[in-house]
A and B are shown apart, each in its own frame.
Chain A
Amino acid sequence: MSKDKLFIILQNTEGARPFTEAFEQENPNAVFKYDQPGMIRIENNGFLGITKEVVSELAGHEVDLQELHLVLVSLSGHVDEDDDYFRLSWN
């Protein structure tokens, strides 16, 4: 797998919190940047992913992963999504 950096940017809001925390928990090497107002930039080499189980656990209720659309600012890499996961990667 390529080691190239990819990123996802989420709004820095309460609605985004379970997603942000899930990225933190499920991608231990990811770097979180808060230097730009209003948003959180999450970077990792080659891969970023979250699962419905972890996001729901962090939110305290069942979350539909497509709710990510409400807080998404930008991303890079190829998207792979299903009911129970959302992943970004370079091939």
Chain B
Amino acid sequence: MAKKLNMRKRYEVLTRGLGWEPTYQPKEKVFPQETYEGIKIVDWDKWEDPFRLTTDAYWKYQAEKDKKLYAVIDSFAQNNGHLNLSSASYVNALKIFIQGVSPLEYGAHRGYANLARQFSGEGAQLACQMQSIDELRHSQTQIHTLSHYNKHFTGLHDPFHMHDRVWYLSVPKSYFDDARSAGPFEFITSISFAFEYILTNLLFVPFMSGAAHNGDMATVTFGFSAQSDESRHMTLGLEIIKFLVEQHEDNLEIVQGWIDKHFWRAYRVLGLVSAMQDYMLPDSPMSWKEAWDIYFVDNCGALFKDLARYGLRMPKFHEQATDEAEHLSHQVYTALYQFSHAAAFHTEVPSKEKMDWLSEKYPNTFDKYYRPRWEMYAQMEKEGKRFFNMGLPQLCQVCQVPMSFTEVSKGEPMKLSQRVTEFNGDKYHTCSDGCKDIFDHEPEKYAHAWLPPHQIFQGNCGGAEIPDVLKYYHFNPEDGGDYKGSTDEATWKAAHGLDDQQTTPEKSA
């Protein structure tokens, strides 16, 4: 019997030995997307995947990860794990996760499947093929895990339908659509590097730790299961950047431009995560600002110091993102609070304990700027006038977040930040220098953005009244509004008031 090859050799045989040169058709016709972005690849054989995972090992480990996860999901369901949460209001963070993030995993699955087809290098094909399968697994395991919550709580019933239509979900959707409608090299720079390497730790690590902190064993498990793949994806992100800039000097400027653009695009999406982390987790293990300091300032600082030898620098406008770290979650959650009558999750004025935690974590900003606003909302609620903003917000043409960010970097945190560009005789509004820069670079692309409020006004979203639009979103009347008085709250209270014979809380009407 032949001697077993070592890891390097096995990987080499798999990724170099299985390729071939096409003879029936010219190579450019077989891989038509590889050149039009201006990227020059001289030698795909220089591609070196740092994780030399071969197909047999990949399937073995992935099967083991799934086995572990599904054992936990079963056990969670059998033991009514949802009753051990810190509070049912925690589930609101899961609603945003499955509506906003799981469909992105599916989008990534399709995106990487396309790369596996479009790249001509076998090493890159293999890495993208594995990532495509990983992303499909993530989207499936998230749906399977959260389906248990769907039996007991509102807003979780039709996330993929919602993702393609709803105003706050157009924030993550438009970012992924932006990347997926670009060429293969821009897509991989966007998702593998700007999103996965630079920013994804901010989404998964504190959020999964937060799940553990709030008694959500099931989410911790799918999160960690996904995250083990994510580590491999991050190294792919770093590898692709190094590979592109080493291949040809002309690639540097193009790649830097994509890093700048997609860092800002992905950062704006994570505004939702900041609100989940600081406001929607009843017990937060770490604030957005603390996570930003560790995973962006320290970690990406070290990364870009390392990448400086290739001529790469920190993404444009990163200073503004860091300036905003003490404001972001407060501003985003305020927008969610005001419009939650048109959302499939609940919001509420933070509790006294939560506000004290926010004061402690945000000593420079919370008491000065944001606590007074929450106290005003609390007072209004007490008077029976819970504030809902009945207008439709103007969205940023690029990130699609309501235009409620402020001029933090200019030292005016209470002044709304708005930028305008004229293009083909029309005015386009953006929320920041970062988004305006992106618009101005590719106005033809962003002029076509599908902005939910515009679409509502044009009559494309089910009708003119809010209930019509909510029906078009597949929202049920009990999905939105304040957490206090919600069906979820009633379910939770009833469940915890049950006597010993009953094991499952009644679902209230």
Contacts and interface: CB of A to CB of B under 8 A. Distances in A.
B46 interface: no
Majority SS of interface residues in chain B? helix
Interface of A: 2, 4-7, 9, 11, 35-39, 66-67, 69-83, 90-91
A38 B228 CA distance: 14
Query: Which of A66, A77, A91 has the most B CB atoms < 10 Å from its CB?
Result: A66
Given A36-B209, A37-B212, A70-B64, A81 B52 contact: yes
Contacts of A91: 306, 309
B454 interface: no
Interface in B212-227: 212-213, 220, 224, 227
A75 B302 contact: no
A59 to B, nearest CB: 16
A23 to B, nearest CB: 15
B342 to A, nearest CB: 34
Contacts of A37: 209, 212-213, 220, 285
Contacts of A11: 224
B497 interface: no
B27 interface: no
A39 B223 CA distance: 12
Instruction: Kindly list the 7 A-B residue pairs having the minimum CB-CB distance in the complex, ordered from nearest.
Output: A37-B212, A4-B302, A79-B50, A38-B212, A36-B209, A72-B231, A83-B7
B149 to A, nearest CB: 19
A79 B205 contact: no
B208 interface: yes
Nearest to A11: B224
B220 A38 contact: yes
Query: Which of B201, B227, B231 has the most A CB atoms < 10 Å from its CB?
Result: B231
B110 interface: no
B306 A4 contact: yes
Interface string B226-252: 011011101100100000000000000
A78 B306 CA distance: 10
A73 B224 contact: yes
B306 A70 contact: no
B57 to A, nearest CB: 6
Nearest to B68: A70
Given A69-B228, A72-B231, A90-B306, A7 B285 contact: no
B298 interface: yes
Query: Which of B286, B299, B301 has the most A CB atoms < 10 Å from its CB?
Result: B299
B50 A78 contact: yes
A74 B227 CA distance: 7
Interface residues of B, number: 40
17 contacts: A5-B298, A9-B205, A35-B285, A36-B209, A37-B213, A39-B208, A66-B57, A67-B61, A69-B61, A72-B228, A73-B208, A75-B231, A79-B50, A81-B50, A81-B51, A90-B302, A90-B305
A53 B327 CA distance: 49
B209 A7 contact: no
Interface string B186-223: 00000000000000010011101100110000001000
A72 to B, nearest CB: 5
Interface of B: 6-8, 50-53, 57, 61, 64-65, 68, 201, 204-206, 208-209, 212-213, 220, 224, 227-228, 230-232, 234-235, 238, 285-286, 298-299, 301-303, 305-306, 309
Nearest to B9: A83
A81 B10 CA distance: 13
A66 B53 contact: yes
Nearest to B62: A69
A4 B301 CA distance: 9
A86 B306 CA distance: 20
Contacts of B53: 66, 69
Query: Which of A7, A79, A90 has the most B CB atoms < 10 Å from its CB?
Result: A79
A76 to B, nearest CB: 5
B479 to A, nearest CB: 29
B359 to A, nearest CB: 21
A39 B209 contact: yes
A91 B304 CA distance: 11
Contact of A75 (B212, B224, B234): B234
Contacts of B306: 2, 4, 77-78, 90-91
Given A70-B68, A90-B306, 9 more contacts: A5-B302, A7-B299, A9-B205, A37-B209, A38-B208, A38-B209, A70-B228, A77-B306, A79-B51
Contacts of A82: 6-8, 52
A78 to B, nearest CB: 7
Contacts of B68: 70
Contacts of A6: 302
Nearest to B4: A83
Given A38-B212, A38-B220, A74 B302 contact: no
A80 to B, nearest CB: 7
A44 to B, nearest CB: 12
A7 B295 CA distance: 10
Nearest to A39: B209
B298 A73 contact: no
A77 B204 CA distance: 18
Contacts of B51: 69, 79, 81
B205 A78 contact: no
B234 to A, nearest CB: 7
A53 B454 CA distance: 62
